[in-house]
Every structure is written in structure tokens, then in C-alpha cells.
Structure 1
Amino acid sequence: MAKTKPEINLVEIDIGISKEDRASIVKDLSRLLADSYTLYLMTHNFHWNVTGPQFNSLHTMFMTQYTEQWNALDVIAERIRALGFPAPGTYKEFSSLTAIKEVEGVPKAQDMVKLLVNAHETVARTARGIFSIVEKANDQPTADMLTQRLDVHEKTAWMLRSLLEE
């Protein structure tokens, strides 16, 4: 796992969260950002490449999903910055931090849906795993963001799962 980069602030941060706790939170938020970016890229890829009888509905659904995910990336990265650390922003960093496996080739539409369910659930698990340090550090803005992200990913996974039922 990648190391947390050093703070780059010239002015000391004093927001009521210790530097050590902020570094721990950022380490986990960096994993969330990497998972979120990987999910965004997977969803956009599937939007471009989906085919079959569900083309129109999936193409439109995937666009709605990747647009929401794109906007969330900024929220996560800016929280990392507000905590005083640089946000990861390269494919190399994201690939070393993410728990989502890259998809090779172009899966069938139903397989795309299954892969997205798994990826959304992975992001939800990553987000949920951050709460203990966030609660210990009394970091309400990060807790609020995590709650919002969990709501989106759990709801999206449920909607995608419903497409897999017979």
C-alpha cells in the first residue's frame, strides 16, 4: 500500500484533529478515492461499450452513474486536501490503492452489471471501513461525506442487482 504523502502546508493546520489522525484518515480516503476513480472508469467504459437488448436502458443508466461518480471524486479529493495532504491523482497511484480489479476486454451486458454490483459493494466496504478512525478523530465532515457515499453505492448496487433477477 502506498505511503501517505507528507503535508505540504506552509501554515500549520489547527482544526481540532491531530496530524497523526489526519494522516490516518487521508490514507483511507486515498483508498476510497482510488476505488471511486476505478469504479468511475469502469462505468464509463461500460457506457461506451454496452451492447444487446438492454443497450438503451443500460447506456443511459451507466451515464447517470458515471456522472454522479465523477462529481464525487472531487468531493473526496477536496476532503483530503482540507485535511492538509495531497490527493493521489495518477493511474499508478490509483492502481496501487484500489481494491477493484481492472476489467479486461468487453464483457457481455449482464456481466457488466454483475461487475458493477461488485465494484459498488467494494467501494461501500472501503467507505464503511473508514468510520472507526473518523469517529475516533471526531471528524464529522468526513463522516458525513462517507455516509453520503455509502447511500449512493448501496442504492446503486441494489438497483443493478435488480436487473440480474429473473
Structure 2
Amino acid sequence: MEAQIGIKQEFLLQVAISLGKVLADEFVLYTKTRKAHWCVTGSDFHSKHLFFEAQYNQLADIIDDVAERIRSLGHFPPATLKEYLELTHLTEQSREKNDSLGYIKELLSDHESILIHLRENIDGYANALKDAGSSDYITGLMETHEKMAWMLRAHLD
């Protein structure tokens, strides 16, 4: 049954497709953060192991929220690794070293890339696609990524 929520079906589809890309980015970032948690080495291992765990847990919640937002618009989210890799604008990175500084810089770059992507869509969702709810949702998501990026950036001073 189609969602009858005061937004044209074609606009709902466009927002759902866009949010599917956000979901793919979130899933790839989650996976990269999990890898940092599992693979980090060095004298700061314990503190960074716990830090990365807190971040991937936060990303797991974000993933669920984005998927549920897509469902609330009457569409199904992408849900396979193949789809995520096709939709994401992030890259998988193979690291030669497992140092915390390298992981932090890489994850920070990904958060900042997601922030730019989210910021670029706020007005489009609200104005062109008449979906103030999704605009508000990604504004909140942007704020979450800003804080997560700040936490990563603080390790670089």
C-alpha cells in the first residue's frame, strides 16, 4: 500500500532513492569503523578500541533509523552489500598500518564527506521534493555526524 502522507509519490521515490545512498554511506562507514575497532594497534590500543566501539554502535543506530525512514516513506531500503557498494560515494580502504592516527584521519574524512552530502540535500528535500520531515531528519543526522567528526578531530590536535 502506498504511503499517503501529503507528498507526491514521485517525490517520495526520489527521497527514498537519495536516502538509500545515505544508508549505503552509513553502512560502509560503520564497517570501516568496525575494522578500526578490531584492527587498531599501538600503545593507545585500549582507549581507541573503546572509542571506535562507541562510534560504530552509534552508526549502527543511524543505519537502522535511515532504513526505517525509507520504509516510512513507503519504500524498501537497499539491504545488500552489493547494493551498498554500488550506491556509496565512500571508498573501501586497505590499510597497510593499523595505527589509530591513520584510522582516525580516514574516518574523519568519511564523516566530513557524508556531512557535505547531507548538507547538499537539506533544501532539496524540503523545497523541491516537499518533504520537510526528511529535510529535518537529515539535518539531525548532519548534526550527529558533526559531533562524531569533532570527536575524531579532537584526537588530531
Report the TM range for the smaller structure's normalisation.
over 0.9
Structure 2 unaligned blocks of 5 or more: none
Check whether the contact 1:110–1:164 (CA below 8 A) recurs between aligned residues: yes
The reply on whether 1:101 has 2:85 as its aligned counterpart is no
SS of the residue corresponding to residue 88 of structure 1 reads coil
Spell out the pairing of 1:118-157 with structure 2 (5 A cutoff): 118-136=109-127, 137-157=129-149
Q: How does 1:12-161 map to 2 (within 5 A)?
A: 12-105=2-95, 106-136=97-127, 137-161=129-153
Aligned residues: 155
Q: What SS does structure 1 have at the residue aligned with 2:151?
A: helix
Cross-structure match for 1:162: 154
Q: Which moved more, 1:38-47 or 1:126-135?
A: 126-135
Secondary structure of the residue that 1:163 maps to in structure 2?
helix
Provide Cα deviations, 1:39-68, integer angstroms capped at 9, x if missing partner. 101001100111112211111111111001
- Quote the Cα distance in structure 2 between the aligned partners of 1:51 and 1:23: 44
User: What is the letter of the counterpart of residue 58 of structure 1?
Assistant: K
Identity of aligned residues (%): 35
Write 1 or 2 for the structure with the bigger share of helix. 2
Whether contact under 8 Å (1:21, 1:133) holds in the other structure is no
Deviating 4+ runs (over 6 angstroms): none
TM-score, normalising length: structure 2: 0.92
CA contact (8 A) 1:31 1:126 kept: no
Structure 1: gaps of 5 or more residues = 1-10
Q: Distance in 1 between matches of 2:90 and 2:11?
A: 26
Q: Please say if residues 122 and 139 of structure 2, whose CA atoms lie closer than 8 Å, have aligned partners that are also in contact.
A: no
